[in-house]
Structure 1
Amino acid sequence: MNAPADSAAPAPQAARRTRLRDYQAQLLARMQAAQSGAAQAHHQLGVAIGAARYLLELTEAGEIVPPGLLAGVPLTQPWYLGLANVRGSLLGVIDLARYFDAGASAAGPDARLVSLAPRLGLNCALLVTRVYGLRRAGAMQAEGATLRDADGHAWTPLSLAALVREERFLHVASAAR
């Protein structure tokens, strides 16, 4: 009678080892994808800047925080709002809606600051009108330079890396002195 019980015992252990091996392989694949950026490449951060919707690469965006008190900086462009203290770091704040269109502003009850990723090399945050959260551009329909989601909303990809290389973006001082 002991023989059947003994032969049944190794089967659950073997199945457990197989499940553990499969889990470890899946975990390794996820870690490698995260390190290579492949996991993030499929999702972007959806934001509103004025009335338009934009997609930001997650690797180019940092923290998202509510706007707080700003220290104004004299003799700067109207779109440069001043300095914000975000977790002990001073960040220059750009009203991106006003940067794109002088008559617009991103300020409002749903406005947020999106800091730039440290790899972009600027201590800067962008004031956006609203943060929609993660979006999957791969699931959207391409229409020229824009993408359309399943709800019919148009999204424009916005490269923050390209933005911080723009000559105008880098010169916040006003011409009038």
Structure 2
Amino acid sequence: MNAVATGQALAPDATPDAAPHTARRTRLRDYQAQLLARMQAAQNGAPEAGHQLGVMIGSERYLLELTEAGEIVPLAQLAGVPLTQPWYLGLANVRGSLLGVIDLARYFDKDASAAGPEARLVSLAPRLGFNCALLVTRVYGLRRAAAMTPDGQQETRLRDLDGNAWTPLSLAALVREERFLHVALAPTNI
């Protein structure tokens, strides 16, 4: 039921259809503020560090430790960098900082991509020492690995109450991988 039907007054420039849209935007803004507060609390070692950030990369669900993840932002315009690996998408300007953007789906599987309408950039936490953002297909928000059960088929995977499989992904381990550190094409590939 909208405000006109209930007799509630609308703002002078509001239309009956604007009220649900405004409420959705307010809920989304509140959710984003809560998520940011929890991520900052986790990075500062606060008690909510038991939460992980649930993301989709390609068609797989992953759990990222909040202490290893930074900011979540919409996909920004990228400046391409020549002679780099196909999974290295280029540079993005995020709040005045240049971040190298990695398409993690393509990094894991050369025929995949995380690009899509719900794709987001997840920057790495400053403590990891990399000005880098990961392109993820979708952000699900906070999850608790402690509330999940081990997957009987793969010991590294977990299942939530809805039966979805989640794989923990250590960003600290990722940034130590030799392949991740070398974004330039090898001279034989040029």
Give the TM-score taking structure 1 as reference length: 0.79
Q: Which residue of 1 aligns with 2:180?
A: 169
Q: Does 1:69 align with 2:80?
A: no
Superposed CA offset, 1:108-157 (max 9, x none): 00000000000000000000000000001111001211110000000000
Displacement of 1:38 in angstroms is: 5.2
Instruction: Quote the residue 1:12 is aligned against.
Output: none
State the partner residue of 2:167.
156
Change (3 A) 1:34 1:172: closer
Matching residue's letter, 1:129: T
Deviations 1:42-83 (A, max 9, x none): 100000000000000000000000001000000000000000
Corresponding position of 1:25: none
Secondary structure of the structure 2 residue equivalent to 1:59:
coil
Distance 2:77 2:88 in 1: 14
Aligned residues: 145
**C-alpha displacement of 1:40:** 3.3
The answer on whether the counterparts of 1:40 and 1:58 sit within 8 Å (CA) in structure 2 is no
Which structure has more relative contact order (CA 8 Å, sep 6+)? It is 1
Supply the distance in 2 between the matched residues of 1:35 and 1:61 (Cα, whole angstroms).
Answer: 8
> What residue ranges of structure 2 are gaps of 5+ in the alignment?
1-40
Q: What SS does structure 1 have at the residue aligned with 2:130?
A: coil
- Bigger Rg, structure 1 or 2: 1
Per the alignment, do residues 86 and 37 of structure 1 end up closer, same or farther by CA in structure 2, a change over 3 Å counting?
Answer: same
**Could you tell me which residue of structure 1 aligns to residue 105 of structure 2?**
97
Counterpart contact for 2:77–2:92, Cα < 8 Å: yes
What residue is the counterpart of 1:118 in the other structure?
A: 126
**Rounded Cα–Cα distance in structure 1 between residues aligned with 2:43 and 2:120:** 28
DSSP-derived class of the 2:86 partner: coil
Alignment CA distance shift 1:78-1:36 (3 Å): closer
CA positional deviation for 1:35: 8.2
Relative to its length, the structure with more helix (as a share) is 1
Name the counterpart of 2:64.
56
Identity over aligned pairs, percent? 82
Cα 1:40/1:68, change in 2 over 3 Å: same
CA distance in 1, matches of 2:182, 2:48: 31
Deviation at 1:37, TM superposition (A): 2.1
Uncovered stretches (5+) of structure 1, i.e. residues with no partner = 1-32
